[in-house]
Structure 1
Amino acid sequence: MLKEYDPVSVKLSGSYIPMTDLEGSSESDDEFNVVSAERRPIHSRKEEEESILGTSPVGTEKWRNLFAYWMLGLTNNFAYVIMLSAAHDILSKDFHGGGDDPGNGTASNGSNPRDCNTMSTGTILLADIIPSLIIKAIVPFITFGSHHQRITVVVIACSISFILVGAAVNEVMAIIGVACASLSSGLGEVTFLPYTSNFHRNTVSAWSSGTGGAGVFGALSYAGLTAIGLTPRATVFSMLVVPIIMSLNFWVVLEHPRGKRCCSRNHSYSQELQLEHLESSLTLKEKFRYVPRLLKFMIPLGIVYIGEYLINQGLMELVYFPSLSWLDHHEQYRWYQVIYQVGVMISRSSVHCFQIHHIWITSVLQWVNVILFLSTAITAWIGSIWVVFILIIWEGLLGGAAYVNTFYRIAMEVPQSHKHFAMSITTLADTTGIAIAGVIAIPVHNLICDLPL
């Protein structure tokens, strides 16, 4: 029995037999084994698959599609990043008090010597992740709507999120807006990322790099615009251009596979349709049975994200340097977010230069960071903000590396017939990790804030 197979056809006796004719022969150790056959070199089989997916030239992807996917990654995560960057401001009394300086000045939130908000930014994290978690838990198993219909919902939800948060008169209204951003980001990821299975695998790295770019540009635009005097409300409203950019890239720039007449002169249109059938023919039972095989990707990624977001939304706001004259507490938090996102973008764009085959290594290193941030949040043993900046960028590098290498390994190792589902369900791992981090962050924030300095 052969472990590797051509996802389109197997060469037998000089002719090509569709894989669907071979299905059902065995469901023992590996559902995807096929009978012994004279096989072509693996590189030629990959080239055939890539040509059937419509890439041109073979083995590459058109620049317009790579650019479109980079921009889709950027715009899909933008609202999510903005809400986390604005979390400290949203929970500040000034944001809803009607003043002209909500978080731009030196306003403090209470008499606690640690300058804590009443609620942890973990509250915003939960609002920014729970709707996404629900979407990612349901959509991979029960698909609804076409890709175009789903993206329409993504664009509308993204727009509503910026409007509600910008116009918020209380915390509840703002949190509902944050939840809309979560719904938009979650549905977008579970739609855009599996859709990469219709293109060359390089679109995965383009998407990942774009999501890293969302972190940098989102956090930097929020911190920068508020730093030059724009209020947080006005800054959020200015982000309404983001869903417009997303729409243009999905419906105008991206060349959708169904728009192609034929993939190659050597392959019939029926073969193209057959490949699409292989991607969507899994039954609900088959999907559930395949999930355990994906745990080697999902568990390490989830552990990395628990540690990462426990730092970002539970501990980072408590690492505060009151002696700094050039950055107040709000501004320190905003620039922490920028620096973290720089690390994420660098590592999410690095898969073609440096690959990590054992994702669990990033899990261990990320939890070393948790210990460092927890200890300094309690005892303030780190005396320089520059040391914190270095730790934050390192944290971002680990998180981004775990993400891009996980999905790149899936793109390389999972059979084409299961790749769409694998991409979709694995997004649940990081979202679950973030949700767990949000739940942990709230009591950790409250316990530390009750401690004396």
Structure 2
Amino acid sequence: MDPRAHTDLRGDDGIEETDEGKDLESAERRRIMFRMGSSFFLFGLINNGLHSSPERIAISYPTAVLYVIVLSAALDLVPADVPKGVVAFFNIAPAFVAKVGWPVLSTGKIRYSRRLSGCCALSVLGMLLVSAFEFVWMRLLGIALASFASGLGELTFLQLSTTYRPPSIAGFGLGYFSSGTGAAGLVGAFLWWNLRGLGVRIGVGISAVLPFIIPLVYGLWVPRPAVFEMLSLPPSYDTDELPPTDAYTPLAESDDVIRSEEDAATYPQRHPHMPIALSVDDKRRLVKPLVLKYMLPLFCVYMFEYTINQGIAPTLIYPVPSPEKYPFLRFIHSIRDYYPLWQLVYQAAVFLSRSSISLGLPPLPMNVLYLPALIQAIILFLLALESALGIIPDTSEGLAVSACFLLIALEGFCGGSAYVNVFFRVNQEPLSSSVDHERAKQEKEFKIGSIGLADSLGILAASLLAVPTEVGLCRAQVDRGKMLCKNL
């Protein structure tokens, strides 16, 4: 019986039943919210992360924790005469294709269980190809499959978050997914560090069980959207309810949604029993207002961020600090330790900033979504200036390392903040006023899925800028007599 049915009872017994009912309802609510948060955190943790760099430690590109393992192993198996840029291409391109092409080409209702099962199968197959074959092209194919599965997985989970109501629950799930993506780099690197002692083939083979976590969590643990329609939420959860035009309407179990007479009059071109599918013109209309509002700031943040990580950070090297003079830097033993340090600082900052929503911090207002990109551009300029001109003398390596530490941490905060806030804002946009709920639902799923175009283009643009940037900065250091970058 619904515990709220006791609220009008009087007497001691009635009060006891009311209190007990409220306690039971509160406990059930906490249990469901825990399942929701932990599920989306696991989705982000398993699916997203940072992977190893062909030449150094890490390229900051969002792929799977599984892919941290796959690529780390693949780089050990690829012969020295194979250009590492080829590995990077097979890493980046398939995820880009999945995130950009899938929202455009897919039509109709999303079958989440089928799509996630497909991602699981591709991830397992990719890992097995890397571990089982000695042929270079087979290993590269395995990397490509893992990359494609990761890109499609990220797209799918972002779309899945929009299916929950009220919008605060949708934002709750997205916040924990974002937090999981931030944790993935740290967890994935730690996991491979411990598995690599078994050898790349055994380590990757053991890790092939990880993809199965996602369909298991989706099938057995994550609450379904209908659960929240029946759950009584406190004011802290439902203060941002959608307008009346976006009220929830239960969907038919059948794939063929029978439309009302009013809906049929609105869209007379579709047969009443024909499944809904967005047309190319529909998708073009939906994307157009997103470009300046969400895509451009995310593109700029990613382009500046990955240019710093791939083109500038490798040149931020200084003489090894004296342990006696700088005891807080005694963990730096050679100039090769600087780049891993910058990546560790960056990843930790990304994790914290991507967790901001799940930690209860308020999202950025709409009118300051460009602020992270602006700060990122200033950081890029300052770090490039320091690398090229040596504003801080090499004799003050403690000051130089501290300044770079703070700027790179701020870079990570800006990058993670842009990611979680842009997707959170898209997630929170109300459904369209269409009387066809399924159509409005597909429109929102497409909108959040199409945003992936921005970060992917930013990454590709940065990959083109990073190489000449690194070469130019190293040359500038050599011209002023600093030869450290030539000794890496």
Given residue 356 of structure 1, which amino acid in structure 2 is its aligned partner? L
TM-score, with length taken from structure 2:
0.64
Deviation at 1:165, TM superposition (A): 5.1
Q: Is 2:243 the counterpart of 1:273? A: no
Deviates more, 1:292-301 or 1:277-286: 277-286
Contact 1:215 1:338 in 2 (8 A): no
Query: Which residue of the partner structure matches residue 13 of structure 2?
Result: none
Q: Is 2:452 the counterpart of 1:427? A: yes
Query: Which residue of the partner structure matches residue 290 of structure 1?
Result: 286
Query: Which residue of the partner structure matches residue 194 of structure 1?
Result: 159
Deviation per CA, 1:69-98, whole angstroms, max 9, x where unpaired?
1100111114xx234598548799993589
Query: Which residue of the partner structure matches residue 128 of structure 1?
Result: 91
Q: Is 2:362 the counterpart of 1:354? A: yes
Q: Would the alpha carbon gap of residues 94 and 69 (structure 1) be closer, same or farther in structure 2, given more than 3 Å must change?
A: closer
Structure-to-structure mapping, 1:315-394, within 5 angstroms: 315-321=312-318, 323=320, 326-328=332-334, 331-351=337-357, 352-357=360-365, 358-381=368-391, 383-384=397-398, 385-394=401-410
Give distance in 2, aligned partners of 1:380 and 1:304: 25
Q: Would the alpha carbon gap of residues 291 and 389 (structure 1) be closer, same or farther in structure 2, given more than 3 Å must change?
A: same
Q: Would the alpha carbon gap of residues 216 and 440 (structure 1) be closer, same or farther in structure 2, given more than 3 Å must change?
A: same
Give distance in 1, aligned partners of 2:162 and 2:202: 39
Q: Is 2:187 the counterpart of 1:217? A: yes
Query: Which residue of the partner structure matches residue 179 of structure 1?
Result: 144
Given residue 82 of structure 1, which amino acid in structure 2 is its aligned partner? H
Give distance in 2, aligned partners of 1:391 and 1:237: 39
Match of 1:128, SS state, is helix
Query: Which residue of the partner structure matches residue 19 of structure 1?
Result: none
Deviation at 1:220, TM superposition (A): 4.3
Give distance in 2, aligned partners of 1:389 and 1:167: 40
Give distance in 2, aligned partners of 1:178 and 1:320: 31
Give distance in 2, aligned partners of 1:233 and 1:86: 21
Contact 2:320 2:333 in 1 (8 A): no
Query: Which residue of the partner structure matches residue 76 of structure 1?
Result: 47
Given residue 91 of structure 2, which amino acid in structure 1 is its aligned partner? D
Q: Would the alpha carbon gap of residues 148 and 409 (structure 1) be closer, same or farther in structure 2, given more than 3 Å must change?
A: same
Contact 1:87 1:124 in 2 (8 A): no
Q: Would the alpha carbon gap of residues 257 and 412 (structure 1) be closer, same or farther in structure 2, given more than 3 Å must change?
A: closer
Deviation at 1:380, TM superposition (A): 5.0
Q: Would the alpha carbon gap of residues 238 and 312 (structure 1) be closer, same or farther in structure 2, given more than 3 Å must change?
A: farther
Percent identity, aligned pairs only?
Answer: 27
Match of 1:130, SS state, is helix
Q: Would the alpha carbon gap of residues 192 and 315 (structure 1) be closer, same or farther in structure 2, given more than 3 Å must change?
A: same
Q: Point out the structure with max Rg over C-alpha.
A: 2
Query: Which residue of the partner structure matches residue 217 of structure 2?
Result: 249
Match of 1:82, SS state, is strand
Q: Which has the higher helix share?
A: 2
Q: Would the alpha carbon gap of residues 254 and 220 (structure 1) be closer, same or farther in structure 2, given more than 3 Å must change?
A: same
Give distance in 2, aligned partners of 1:127 and 1:203: 31
Query: Which residue of the partner structure matches residue 17 of structure 2?
Result: none
Unaligned runs of 5+ in 2: 1-26, 59-70, 233-247, 258-262, 264-274, 322-330, 433-439, 483-488
Contact 1:313 1:441 in 2 (8 A): yes
Query: Which residue of the partner structure matches residue 95 of structure 1?
Result: 76
Give distance in 1, aligned partners of 2:250 and 2:429: 21
Q: Is 2:208 the counterpart of 1:240? A: yes
Q: Would the alpha carbon gap of residues 343 and 118 (structure 1) be closer, same or farther in structure 2, given more than 3 Å must change?
A: farther
Give distance in 1, aligned partners of 2:82 and 2:316: 16
> Greater RCO between the two (CA within 8 Å, min separation 6)?
1
Q: CA RMSD in A?
A: 4.1
Deviates more, 1:384-393 or 1:435-444: 384-393
TM-score, with length taken from structure 1:
0.69
Deviation at 1:289, TM superposition (A): 0.9
Q: Would the alpha carbon gap of residues 95 and 433 (structure 1) be closer, same or farther in structure 2, given more than 3 Å must change?
A: same
Q: Is 2:427 the counterpart of 1:411? A: yes
